[in-house]
Amino acid sequence: MPDASPPEGITPLDESDHLLWGAAFAAKCDAICTYNVKDFPDSHIAVGTPLAIHRWIAAPQLEHCVQSVQLSDRGTFLFFGRLHHESSMGPILESGGIVTVVADEKGFIRLKGAGVKRCSAVKPLPRDTEFRLTIRYNCTDFEAALWTKGSSGWTEDIISTGAATFSSETKPLLCFVPNHRFTGHIQCLSGLPRFVRDKQMPAALDNYSLEAVAGSLDLKRYLWLTTTSM
């Protein structure tokens, strides 16, 4: 496309994307495919990550819903889905044999193991209701939260907090291990080896995946880890 400016008054959030934004308008594009979704307004032209656009236009496939989950001694885990019962999530993450993140029989998310410093479970997970759950942790903080989207954007409801010494060998247990007791419906799963900040969460939630904020990582290394672990 030749260089083009977007219509007056419609600008990207990052000035370096000005010509790309204008070209998309000039070509009457249906969507812009990018990892930097946060740099574009959420109106006028659809903007999404490759995974999000696959979900919009393609027939449902397992690989569009569950991505390889990469975690470390700090990380963010994202779950969209529904439980058949409060107790049906079970163990969620395991970290080096010293910390386990688990949903108990009443649906409260707790930290267990020798590496746990403190834990306070405030609210249980819902049953028979679609929900968006994030688990975020680093060397000083642990947080599990439910997210709801309203007219003013995403709202966070913290359901568990704490602190624990997580290992670099942290991995998901939820539906990734044999004989797991999870029963419910999974819309999508993803994970990144860092604590995703609040201001970046809307991009991940709108795109059904933490892939939307992976651009701030070494993306080449992230994709290599993903493909070699599958």
Mean pLDDT, range 26-42, rounded to an integer: 83
pLDDT tens-place string over residues 111-121: 999 999 999 99
- Domain extents for the chain? 1-48, 63-228
CA atoms of 153 and 199, how far apart (whole Å): 11
Burial class (CB in 10 A: 0-12, 13-18, 19+), 4: middle
Does residue 63 have a pLDDT over 70?
no
Report the DSSP pairing between strands 46-48 and 31-33. Answer: parallel
Does residue 158 have a pLDDT over 70?
yes
Q: What is the CATH number of domain 63-228?
A: 2.60.120
Mean pLDDT, range 28-47, rounded to an integer: 83
pLDDT number for residue 230:
45
CA atoms of 169 and 154, how far apart (whole Å): 31
Chain mean pLDDT for the chain: 85
Does residue 104 have a pLDDT over 70?
yes
Q: Say what the pTM is.
A: 0.72
Q: Quick one: what percent of the chain has pLDDT higher than 70?
A: 88
Mean pLDDT, range 38-42, rounded to an integer: 76
pLDDT tens-place string over residues 122-151: 999 998 899 999 999 998 999 999 999 999
